[in-house]
Amino acid sequence: MTIVTRPSRVVSLLGGAITPPVNPCSHGTPRAVTPWTGEPGTVGRAAVVGAGKMGLPLAVQFARHGWHVTAVDVNAEVVAAINEGRSHVTGEPGLAEGVAQVHAAGLLAATVDAAAAARDADVAILIVPVMLDDTQQPDYRYMDSAVDSIAAGVHGGMTVIFETTLPVGDTRGRFAPRLEAATGLRAETDFFVAFSPERLYSGAVFANLATYPKLVGGIGPESGRRAAAFYDSVLDAEIVEMSGAEAAEFSKIAETTYRDVNIALANDFARYADRVGVDIQEVVEGANSQPYSHIHQPGLGVGGHCIPVYPHLLLSRAPDLEMVAAARRTNDAQVGLAIKTLEGLLGGLDDVPILVLGLTYRANVKELAYSRALPLIERLSFHGAEVSAYDPLLPIEEIGRCCAVAYSWGQPAPFRAIVTQTADKLWQSLDFRLFPQLEIILDGRNSLREVELPASVQYVGIGVQAATRRRRGAATPSGVASS
């Protein structure tokens, strides 16, 4: 038998996502038809309403499979860029090339006129935000506006698909009636309505589209059939036609809420690991070597458009779901626990210079939505700290808008504490000699647990302690000193 210090087969979400194999494209040459009714091997005209970080890649994906696609956006600059064959979205592998390719082929154009785009389309896909208001209830202002904007172009035989995550029942109970009232047409009889959630990860959208099963649910049998036929014509992944829109809506909320609850459990485990002096990463790896265990990673909290938001869409309909509510409280409380830890170790925060590394909600994604850096900076400042920040994705002006002083990478500074809010690999190259007064590294994503620190600097992780973080003799990242 071989004796090892860590399991060889562990499912881990540290620093990224699990990546299943990508399915090869098996589509033949499609036949363009008017009107499009879902016949196998045929394509028509589509409108994608919302040409943002997810909408624009979807438009490219559809156009690559032979559909004539019109991207709709309220931002005239976005529309102009697309009509010049340029992507306004950066950081998405293959997107810039894809926009140029399908635009040159005459398969992608853009407009601000949603009604005109819908009038010419066989299928309209809506992917605009439904976020939360100040009371943590669904904020429909953008989706309501998008639905109203296409209403004048909705016509007999058309299929309308919602990809934005919605509270269960909204496709059938809120938006189909809204379109019926505006058009005088009957859903499932004159036109068709379905829900099919996007299941995409920034930085891997095209791979995700060829990997994850596509869930589809209509408000009736024909709506479900047409929506499933549409996705079958443009995706290389499995198409799952579910029993109805509600099942598809609930599936998306369930998968994201599961992750929130799982992370909350990991954060609880991390607190106990600190109490008993055990490295939570070692515990998670050990537990996840059993195939039925899928414990996620602890951290400073959860950011992004999805996980902090979608549990509240569920709670807006079912406020009695205690575990879901408790998970949200647990994950949101992580920033407060970090503040208390710093206060205790530094003897207060008044006039203490602190550097926050990583302002985006996760490394390598230029997006601040629900980033935990924002409440972290706000609370540190409230307690009197002098907060500086750095993120390689953000210019100085944008860092300033986050209410922190922009730190110039590689410059000496009198910081007494550094907090990592993302797991950017750049932090592993930080020269700690630049900070002679540094006392504390609070590693909010446990990404520096194997980095050599000066003897005068105390390491504090999330469930990883100074005494345990280097005990295991594990291989260290390239360019980082080993223990």
Catalytic residue numbers? 252, 306
Tell me the C-alpha distance between 372 and 419, whole Å: 12
User: Are 49 and 127 contacting, i.e. CB atoms less than 8 angstroms apart?
Assistant: yes
Give me the residue label for tokens 């309308």.
Answer: 160
User: Are 188 and 213 contacting, i.e. CB atoms less than 8 angstroms apart?
Assistant: no
Q: Of 180, 148, 137, which is closest to residue 49 (Cα–Cα)?
A: 148
Q: Of 311, 398, 369, 362, which is closest to residue 52 (Cα–Cα)?
A: 369
User: Are 445 and 421 contacting, i.e. CB atoms less than 8 angstroms apart?
Assistant: yes
SS3 labels along 311-364: HHHHHHHCCCCHHHHHHHHHHHCHHHHHHHHHHHHHCCCCCCEEEEECCCCCCC
| Strand-pair category, 440-443 with 458-461 | parallel
Tell me the C-alpha distance between 354 and 383, whole Å: 12
For residue 355, what are the β-bridge partners? 388, 418
User: Are 67 and 92 contacting, i.e. CB atoms less than 8 angstroms apart?
Assistant: no
Tell me the C-alpha distance between 305 and 309, whole Å: 6
Tell me what percent of the chain is helix, strand and coil, each rounded to the nearest 5.
35, 15, 50
Structure tokens at 343: 């206060």
User: Are 313 and 253 contacting, i.e. CB atoms less than 8 angstroms apart?
Assistant: yes
Tell me the C-alpha distance between 50 and 264, whole Å: 32
